[in-house]
Structures are given as structure tokens and as C-alpha cells.
Amino acid sequence: MKIKATMERIPGGMMVVPLLLAATINTIAPDLLRIGGFTQALFVDSANALIALFLLCTGAQINVKTFGVSLAKGGTLLATKWIVGALFGLLAYMFAGDNGLWLGIAPIAVIAAMTNSNGGLFVALVGQYGNKEDRAAYSLLALNDGPFLTMVALTIFGAMGFVEGLFSPVSFIAVLLPILIGMILGNLDEDMRTFLDKGSSMLIPFFAFALGMGIDFNAIITGGLGGIVLGLMTVFLTGTAGYLVFKALKWNPIVGAAEGSTAGNAVATPAAIAAASAGFSSVVDIATVQVAASTVTTAILLPLYIAFLVRRIEKKGFVFTGGEIVRKEALKE
């Protein structure tokens, strides 16, 4: 049975298939794999540990002379996603109705969902279509975890005063450290770099499955149409913006598009903001369920959008090899 070959025929299949399979299990029978022991440890609770190991393996492939490229890409992704999310958040506030909603969506949910990205999904997609510098760009993307960038946007809009303590430098270092350890090992020993290179691709389907076990399709129903629309906006607006910016900079545009998602931890952002400013308490409930719906919607839709973009590039006579986009003719030379 050609399981691997079949999965690879699906664009992003090594990530998409395990993720959707796990999400289906988690929605229909959430306790099926939550039985403790090694089973739960591997298939349910392993996402963070496996992603950390993936980043360490990726870090080992990075030459210290090229790390600046990764920082540039990460900074560009971070800025692009925040600018697009903040801009549409501002529009939502400007055109909100008397009920405080814009097109049925809470403006705070727009900012929270569109400026915060799913790091695990990004790593999985870039692990398949990007190179080692692209994967290491994730180190900077830790800055958009949690309510920090949402608070920055609200501060700029004058909606509330800045509140200290919503972002911890320790959290940023905690994400960066596995990459740095991998870099040290790989640059000190070529054999260690070769050894760790095997983990970069092997780990993807395993942490993708664990990520899927955190997705419940019922969140789409609970969040209603507004949450689905928010997910669509996140994928097609922030993802397309990242694609175009990376294309303009002559970088792999698929990596830019891979930022078009909403992270699960963004679900807690409306409550965190409301705790800091009571003025948001009236919309915290609807904002929370809409961000949750956006999280699920983007987890399903973004890989499909990436697959569409990949096919579009391939129809123009290009192929993906080693995380780079090259013309088919060049491979024959």
C-alpha cells in the first residue's frame, strides 16, 4: 500500500491529511485517543514538543552566515500580517453599527484573529515548501502570540491605554532557543547537521496530527457566519498580502502566504483585553467564539489555499525543489 506516495500527491498532504484526520476524530470522538500513557502523549499532547524538536533540527541546517536572511523574512511576515490585521480592525471600528459589530463581527475579534498566526501550521507548510531560512523565520513570529500586538493596535487607535505585561521577552526566547541550539550543533559538527536533517521532514505528519487533535469542527457552528467570514478574511487577506510581499522581494511567495491563519491561543485574547479594559466586556463573548471559529476555518482552508497557489505556480512551468522555486527546464540542464 502506497500511503506516503498517496499523501504526497495531495499538495501539503503530509500535513493536511493527518491534521484533518485528527480534527475529525476530535470532533466525533474526542476521548478516543485521550486514554493516557504513550498513546495520548504522542497523538494528543505532543504538538509543542515535536514542533520544538522540528525547529532544533531546522536550526542545525542553518549556517550562521545566513541567519540574517531568516530574521529579515520573519520580520517581514510579522509586519505584513500586523499591518493588514490592524487596518481591517480600524475599518471595523470606523464602520461598526450601534451594536458595536461590523458585518456581524466584533472589531476586537478582527484584530485578534488577523494579527495572530498559527505557528504550528506555518511550520508544517513551510517545512514542505520552504527552505531552512524560511523555517527559521518562525523565531520572530513568536511576537504575534497572545494579545500583545492586538493591544498595540488598540493603543494606536486610541481605543484604550497601553497595558504593561501582555508580552514577555521570556516567551520569545523560549521559542528562539531550540533554533539557536540546533544552529550551534550544526555549525560545530557537520555530522550532527546531517544527522538532524532527517528529522525536519519526518516530524511533520506527527505534529500535524497532534495539532488536529486540538481542532473541533463544532467551533465553526458556534462562531456562526461571522466567525467563518473572519476566517476567510484572515486566509485571503493576510495570506495573499504575505504572498505578494514575498513575491515582490524575490522570496518564495508560498512562505508569505503560510502566515494566513489564526492561532488557537488567539481565542483568549478578547478576554485578556476585556480584563485590562472593561469597555470591551460587552463583546467579549461573541468575539471569543468568532476567533475560535476563525481558528478552525483557517486551519482547514489555508492548506487548501496554499495548494491552489502551488498549482498556480507549477502551471507556469516552475517546480519546488529543496525549498526553492525553479523552472523545470533548469532541472534538465
Residue 328, domain member (yes or no): no
The CATH number of residue 77's host domain is 1.20.1530.20
Q: What is the pLDDT of residue 235?
A: 97
Q: Which residues, at least 6 apart from 309, have a Cβ–Cβ distance to it below 8 Å?
A: 243, 253, 254, 257
Q: What is the pLDDT of residue 164?
A: 47
Domain count, the chain: 1
Q: Establish how many alpha carbons lie within 13 A of residue 164's alpha carbon, considering only the half-sphere containing its beta carbon.
A: 0
* Closest C-alpha to 175, from 137, 204, 210: 137
Q: Whole domain around residue 54: which residue ranges?
A: 26-316
Residue 147, domain member (yes or no): yes
Residue 56, domain member (yes or no): yes
Chain centroid to CA 148 = 16
Residue 60, domain member (yes or no): yes
Residue 205, domain member (yes or no): yes
β partners of residue 326: 319
From first to last of the 333 residues of the chain, give the pLDDT tens digit: 788 888 777 656 777 788 889 989 999 999 999 999 999 999 999 988 888 898 888 788 777 776 788 889 989 999 999 999 999 999 998 888 888 889 889 999 999 999 988 888 898 888 888 888 888 888 777 677 667 778 778 877 765 554 445 556 676 677 778 888 998 999 999 899 889 988 877 888 898 898 889 878 887 777 778 889 999 999 999 999 999 999 999 999 999 999 999 987 787 788 777 777 777 777 887 888 888 889 889 988 999 999 999 999 988 877 777 667 777 666 555
Read out DSSP for 29-92? Answer: -TTSS-SSHHHHHHHTS-HHHHHHHHHHHHHTT--GGGHHHHHHHHHHHHHHHHHHHHHHHHHH
Residue 1, domain member (yes or no): no
Residue 10, domain member (yes or no): no
Report yes or no: 214 and 264 within 8 Å, Cβ to Cβ: yes
Residue 12, domain member (yes or no): no
